[in-house]
Structure 1
Amino acid sequence: MDIKIGIENINRELAVETDQKREELKTALDKAFSEDEGVLTLTDTKGGELIIPVARIAYIQVGQEHSRKVGFGSL
């Protein structure tokens, strides 16, 4: 799933591709926003972690979940 996150006072948005499901993302967001000094932690498709303080998040755009990759080697 592709996720775009706008951060306050930063001109560019963060673009993350993750294997997390939409429900997992909603649960992580609810938990992060309910904490006083909450952070949102996302894991990208390559195993890297992105940690964002929720107090600075301006918006989050969630794309559609990927059903399958198209290209060579995906038989």
Structure 2
Amino acid sequence: MEVKIGVQHAPREIVIESKQTPDEVESAVSSALGSDSSVLGLEDEHGRKILVPADRIAYVEIGEPSGRKVGFGAI
């Protein structure tokens, strides 16, 4: 599943592919924003951890799984 995180005062968004379910991502975002936790932590499909300061999160977009793009003309 594709997750896009907009960060305040940053020109680009963070885009990751995650094996986590949409509910898991939503719960992680909610707990990071609603508690004293200062970091949103997610894991990408390769097992790497992505940590974002919770007070700098502008938005989080939870999308559908993206298909694999192959070839020069893949859009």
In structure 1, the partner of 2:24 is 24
Map residues 1-75 of structure 1 onto 2, 5 A cutoff: 1-65=1-65
Give me the identity figure in percent.
33
Q: What value does the CA root-mean-square deviation take over the aligned residues?
A: 1.9
| Secondary structure of the structure 2 residue equivalent to 1:29 | helix
Q: Which runs of 5+ in 1 are unaligned?
A: none
- Report if the CA contact (8 A) 1:42-1:49 is conserved: yes
Distance change in 2, residues 1:70/1:14 (3 Å): closer
**Cα displacement string for residues 47-66 of structure 1 (whole angstroms, at most 9, x for unaligned residues):** 00001111001111111146
Q: Give 1:31 deviation, angstroms.
A: 1.1
In the superposition, the TM-score normalised over structure 1's length comes to 0.80
Question: Is contact 2:31-2:37 (8 Å) kept?
Answer: no
Instruction: Give the drift of 1:38.
Output: 2.4
